[in-house]
């Protein structure tokens, strides 16, 4: 089987070094061939992002441009209706076939909320899920919703090698450099006139400044 493909969805409002290290360390630790970034259009399970989808897409394009193992998928951004992760994975299955190993990358906070996602159990029929550690969000079975804790225990793979052995259905966790960076904090800094430098790439900050984004709303 070819190397697994990482799928990394998010609002990326804006993209920051926490996202970039997650994708890079997933490549390295999980033996992925590449990571496909998929910025959300209008995410169904959370509030309206602060900037337009095409601007969030542009920031992801700028921040990933120099990594030839990263690609960016504009499928959700261009969709007329909100895209659910499960729909995106179905689209990728049609594109890539049933045998390709797909690994959905999520931070521990996102994984903790998985039961609120549309048809969340179907995600496991379409892909593996790899959960990264994130400061403030311990990955503990005891803190997961009961149904998710059961899936977590039943599907847990002992090591990332299992991601190659099947196209989907497993769960792995991986430790990454702990960076307590969030888009919420960056938006707050920018809205209150503070520096966000070194929390996200300069190319993204330049874009934010050029288009005067995140100026006055917290």
Query: Which pair of structure tokens corresponds to residue 6?
Result: 């990482």
Q: Which is nearer to ligand ATP, 64 or 132 (CB)?
A: 132
- CB 1 → ligand ATP: shortest distance, Å? 25
- CB 47 → ligand ATP: shortest distance, Å? 9
Q: Which is nearer to ligand ATP, 11 or 64 (CB)?
A: 11
- CB 23 → ligand ATP: shortest distance, Å? 9
Which residue, judged by CB position, is nearest to ligand ATP in the bound state?
107
Give the C-alpha separation, 199 to 210, whole Å.
18
Q: Which is nearer to ligand ATP, 22 or 92 (CB)?
A: 22
> Residue length, the chain?
218
- CB 98 → ligand ATP: shortest distance, Å? 25
User: Which position has the token pair 């969709």?
Assistant: 79
Long-range interactions of 159-165: CB distance < 8 A, separation 24+: 160/29, 160/30, 160/31, 160/130, 161/31, 163/4, 163/30, 163/31, 163/32, 163/101, 163/103, 163/128, 163/130, 164/1, 164/3, 164/4, 164/31, 164/101, 165/1
- CB 81 → ligand ATP: shortest distance, Å? 20
- CB 45 → ligand ATP: shortest distance, Å? 10
SS3 154: helix
Q: Which is nearer to ligand ATP, 42 or 182 (CB)?
A: 182
SS3 90: helix
Q: Which is nearer to ligand ATP, 2 or 194 (CB)?
A: 194
Give the C-alpha separation, 111 to 89, whole Å.
16
Q: Which is nearer to ligand ATP, 13 or 151 (CB)?
A: 13
Give the C-alpha separation, 126 to 99, whole Å.
10
Give the C-alpha separation, 157 to 179, whole Å.
25
- CB 56 → ligand ATP: shortest distance, Å? 9
Q: Which is nearer to ligand ATP, 22 or 163 (CB)?
A: 22
Residues in touch with ligand ATP (CB under 6 A): 10-13, 18-19, 22, 106-107, 109-110, 132, 134, 179, 181-184
């Amino acid at each position: 089987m070819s190397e697994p493909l990482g799928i990394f969805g998010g609002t990326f409002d804006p993209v920051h070094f926490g996202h970039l290290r997650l994708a890079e360390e997933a490549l390295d630790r999980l033996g992925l061939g590449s990571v496909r970034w998929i910025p959300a259009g209008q995410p169904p399970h959370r509030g309206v992002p602060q900037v337009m989808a095409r601007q969030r897409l542009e920031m992801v394009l700028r921040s990933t441009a120099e990594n030839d193992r990263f690609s960016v998928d504009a499928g959700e951004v261009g969709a007329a209706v909100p895209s659910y992760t499960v729909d995106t994975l179905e689209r990728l299955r049609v594109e890539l076939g049933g045998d390709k190993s797909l690994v959905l990358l999520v931070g521990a906070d996102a994984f903790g909320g998985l039961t609120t996602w549309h048809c969340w159990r179907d995600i496991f029929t379409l892909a593996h899920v790899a959960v990264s550690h994130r400061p403030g969000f311990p990955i503990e079975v005891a803190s997961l919703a009961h149904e998710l804790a059961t899936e977590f225990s039943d599907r847990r793979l002992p090591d990332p090698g299992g991601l190659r052995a099947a196209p989907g259905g497993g769960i792995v966790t991986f430790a990454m450099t702990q960076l307590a960076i969030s888009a919420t904090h960056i938006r707050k800094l920018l809205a209150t006139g503070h520096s966000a430098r070194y929390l996200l790439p300069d190319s993204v900050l330049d874009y934010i400044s050029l288009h005067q984004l995140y100026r006055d709303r917290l």
